[in-house]
Amino acid sequence: VPVIKRNLDAMAALKLNVFHWHLSDDQGFRIESKKFPRLQEMGSDGRYFTQQQVREVIDYARDRGIRIVPEFDMPGHTTAWFVGYPTLASAPGPYTIERKWGIFDPAMDPTKEELYPFLDTLIGEMAALFPDEYFHIGGDEVNGKQWDASPTIQAFMREHGLKDNHDLQAYFNQRVLMIVQGHGKKMIGWDEVLHPGLPKDIVIHSWRGQKSLADAARQGYMGILSYGYYLDHIRPASFHYANDPLEGATADLTDAEKTRILGGEACMWTEYVSPENVDSRIWPRTAAIAERFWSPQAVKDFDSMYRRLEVVSHKLDWIGVTHRTSYPLMLERLTDGGPTEPLRKLADLLEPVKFYERGQSGDYTSRTPLNRLVDTARPESHAARKFAKLVEDFAANRDEIRNKLAMWRDISVALVPAMRQASLLQEAVPLAEDVSALAATGLEAMDYLERGEAAPKAWVDHQNELLTRTEKPRAALLIMIVPSIRKLVEMAGDGGQ
């Protein structure tokens, strides 16, 4: 609750006025149900919000002008539901809470008539708890494997003329829509729920891009865009700032169709965050997204945005957000109480891997400690971004470039021995060594440039091998000065031309 409250404070400061609260997934059912207590008692490991806590958060948000829209994902992403209520599923149990991340087979059985009274009671209970007019049913990423394997479900589909799983999910959505509306709410669903058979008074929430948003608007549906604003993809603020709900496929909509685009949403999925580092994954980049939502499309001066973002980032400290204050504390833990400044110089040049690459190893579960350097490094390296700007205007910034390169070249001297002694940092030793090697390459490139001679082809080829190697991730981290060093090498090879 304290994590949510401080982020609500930050939202209010940046004019973000809707908090979409995703409360159930395969890994847990995170809210108390008094009607069906086995949902949280068996499906959450005891980690859930009580209804009293929810009311407290709703009141706190309301005082700050923020609405809260709950989401209960269905019919997929429901493994945790089935731990306590296995008869809701499309295949027999028993079920256990899912510990890993991804798309899983379990899904509700839309053909079971007893499912709908259950959902009516649960949705009614939650609709009474959350006062907002909207209710999100999820609806994403149903792979249909349980449905395909069930003779009973296949017979139902043939009997009702449902030609595929998309039709079956539309049948389910129509039944759920009647329940949601019966409790006085408007239904939102991820863009997979879009189907010609659904009434036009639902909202399509697009995570797959402007095309699905445009398709929905042309068919008469209201829509929200989240594509381009996924914070857990670890993209820079400039990427999010460049993305607009009414560009690309939506730009060709008529004026009437454009009015159906309600807005956008920044998503922070929490597979790889903890209360300790979640603020750093949300802020300050979300301030740039907030400005995009409230600004004309033509407002896209990235340099201006970054200058102002730095000011806002400091102001968020005063609100209580921990995106900056947690950083030195996490560095201190990694060094086991030793000096943090050498490690900070390295960490400032790193970013976590992008999109969902981190989970491709299959090593992560919901119980994996998030205490590594990748969990500490911030989503965007402002040190690397500023260095890239210096290199762009090389002639005017030679001294500053050289000073930074000399500092980074010497990183490994003091840092590597200490890293070898710290269990959590041993995996990152090659990163420190690579940064030093890259900086040395940059200094050699500057020497060629300042002598006014072209670097030999053999030297350029050798440095390109280093650059190719160091642009690949290590310890789930990327060295963000690689492109700038590459540019210096290219300039040296061309003789500064």
Which residue numbers are catalytic? 141
Q: Angle between the 302-319 and 382-392 helix axes, to the nearest 10 degrees?
A: 150
Query: What number of CA atoms fall less than 13 Å from residue 448's CA on the CB side?
Result: 22
| Closest to 115 in 3D by CA, of 138, 85, 70, 143 | 85
Cα angle 412-418-467, degrees, rounded to a multiple of 5: 30
Query: What number of CA atoms fall less than 13 Å from residue 421's CA on the CB side?
Result: 9
- Return all residues near 209 (Cβ < 8 A) that are at least 6 apart: 227, 228, 248, 249
CA 202, distance to chain mean position in Å, is 25
- Give residue for tokens 């005063």: 318
What amino acid occupies position 160?
Answer: H
Q: Report whether 311 contacts 257 (CB < 8 A).
A: no
d(CA 230, CA 128): 30
The torsion defined by the Cα of 279, 280, 284 and 288, in degrees rounded to 10, comes to -90
Residue 29 φ then ψ, to 5°: -105, 110
- Give residue for tokens 């499906």: 43
215: left (phi over 0), alpha (psi -120 to 50) or beta: alpha
Q: Report whether 321 contacts 279 (CB < 8 A).
A: yes
Q: Report whether 334 contacts 415 (CB < 8 A).
A: no
The answer to whether the Cα torsion of 219, 193, 174, 152 is positive or negative is: positive
C-alpha dist (Å) from residue 164 to 109, 129, 167, 356: 14, 35, 5, 29
d(CA 456, CA 464): 12
Residue 436 φ then ψ, to 5°: -60, -45
Q: Where does 35-81 show beta strands of DSSP type E?
A: 67-71
